[in-house]
Amino acid sequence: MTSAIAAGHPATVEAGIEMLRAGGSAADAAVAASLASCVAETVMTGLLGGGHAIYYDGTGGSAENLDFFVAVPGLGAERREAALLELDVPFGAELVHYAVGIASCGVPGVPAGLAELWRRHGRLEWTRLVEPALRLARAGVEMTPAQASCLAMLATVMTMNEGARIYAPRGSLLAAGERLEQPGLVRALELLAEEGAASAYSGSIADVLLALMRERGGLVTREDLEAYRAEWSAPDEVAYLDARVYTRDDLSGVPDGLPRVPRLAELSEAERALILARILDREGPDGVGDTTNITVVDGDGSACVLTTSLGLGSGDFLPGFDLHLNSMLGEADLVRGALEAGERMGSMMAPTLVLGDNALELAIGAAGGTRLRGALIQVAAGVLDEGLSPGEAVARPRLHASGGRVQVEPGFSEAAVAALEREGFAVRIWPAQHHFFGGVSLVTPNDAAGDPRRSGAAARVP
């Protein structure tokens, strides 16, 4: 088994590779890479967000899910309604409705999740895992084209309050190739190294977070932070082709969707497009899905797939730390019914492992909100059924079906588009590949690929 990592930014990948070369486990590499993504990919994720992971023990052959998603705040406080800032975010030709502001922030889970993953499966010292992210925070990091494109789309939120200094330091938005500087993250990461994850729940970072909540009318309480725990559970297991798939359900729909996909290898492109559109078609709005994913396999055959997000971001940043707050309470895709304090919010994240003959065949995860399921299924089928390499599968044009509409990237044939229209779908062809169609990171026993739609990258240890 070749050690490898795939992720949404070259700097994120380099942090993980550094740990693998140092003898670290898949968990060590995933934690270090995730911390680096909280510096390099702050348009997509951050330390005060939430996430999900799956870990496969290559020695024992067992898999576990780790839930460190955002929890509903309000423990120890009277229930109250707090005002949210309503806005519409342009997403290509679509307008997506969101609600942000301090009251959209839920209880963060990323610090607790990374610490728990390291505690159970790590080999290296915790402080060693923080080092790559600290170096990035001190030096600044170059904006990739995908990060710059997403920043332009989310400018209204990203430049609220303290965000203007970070993302528009000279009065205009940072562009691709320019350096993103977040000096407050240096101190935040130093505290994370010194105090551990507890800094965000009962230590220095927690104190500043609670002070901001009191100042601006947020809902997170000290009881919320002190009660938060990352939680292990058994993954959902389904069959696909001749393999076993371990993933998570909740709002993702992956355990239902993937087994319904028939053999695609012998089908024409038009037949393939029709089948995928029928299976993936769902009712409901398409959210922006600011998320990132990291996939790691180590030399022992152990694997970790880890997905994190801030949502859109609340538009509030911790003073002195440059940490953006999550906006999960304002994510319409995630709010299904009444929210009770202390409960986990639902999530579409679906970190996934595929095993055949008790050996790992594929580790894969995706970012992209409502498009996450379709992106993951299309790429996984490309590798496992159609025999594509990871790079070919992730670069191939994708479609997204929702509410009788099918959005397609350029590259689908006229015959495929005509077949979709004859089926009754309203088809929209995008002018170029776009991060709307998700960001997939995958590793196989001999290869790895990040998604070009999100300026992703991958690397292997020779």
The encoded tokens of residue 333 equal 């895709």
CA atoms of 113 and 297, how far apart (whole Å):
19
* Residue 331 belongs to domain spanning: 4-460
Q: What does the DSSP 8-state code read for residue 56?
A: E
pTM of the model: 0.95
Give the CA distances from residue 356 to residues 61, 249, 263, 298, in Å, rounded to whole numbers and listed in that order: 12, 21, 17, 18
Question: What's the whole-number mean pLDDT along residues 232-244?
Answer: 96
Q: What angle do CA 439, 50, 65 make, to 5 degrees?
A: 80
What pLDDT digit, counting tens, does each position of 30-57 carry?
A: 999 999 999 999 999 999 999 999 999 9
Of 150, 194, 201, which is closest to residue 369 (Cα–Cα)? 150
Of 460, 203, 144, which is closest to residue 321 (Cα–Cα)? 203
**Cβ–Cβ < 8 Å for 121, 183:** no
Rounded to a whole number, what is the distance in angstroms from the first to the last CA of the chain? 11
Percent over 90 (pLDDT), the chain? 85
Answer yes or no: is pLDDT of 26 > 80.
Answer: yes
* Beta pairing partners, 408: 399, 429
Phi, psi of 460 (to 5 degrees): -125, 155
- Specify the DSSP element, H or E, that contains 130: helix 126-139
How many domains would you assign to the chain?
1
CA atoms of 157 and 142, how far apart (whole Å):
21
Report how far Cα 142 is from the mean position of its chain's Cα atoms: 20
Question: Where is average pLDDT lowest: 69-78, 97-106, 221-230, 321-330?
Answer: 97-106
The encoded tokens of residue 186 equal 């240096």
Q: How confident is the model at residue 307 (pLDDT cuts 50, 70, 90)?
A: very high
Question: Where is average pLDDT lowest: 80-94, 158-172, 181-195, 377-391?
Answer: 80-94
Dihedral (C-alpha) 29, 112, 46, 63: value to the nearest 10 degrees?
50
Average pLDDT, the chain: 93
Residue with tokens 């005060």: 48
Coil, helix or strand at residue 178? coil
Question: What's the whole-number mean pLDDT along residues 296-305?
Answer: 97
- Specify the DSSP element, H or E, that contains 86: strand 85-91
What pLDDT digit, counting tens, does each position of 314-343 carry?
A: 999 999 999 999 999 988 677 766 778 999
CATH number of residue 38's parent domain: 3.60.20.40
**Which residues are within 8 A (CB) of 414 and not within 5 positions of it... i.e. 6 or more apart?**
none
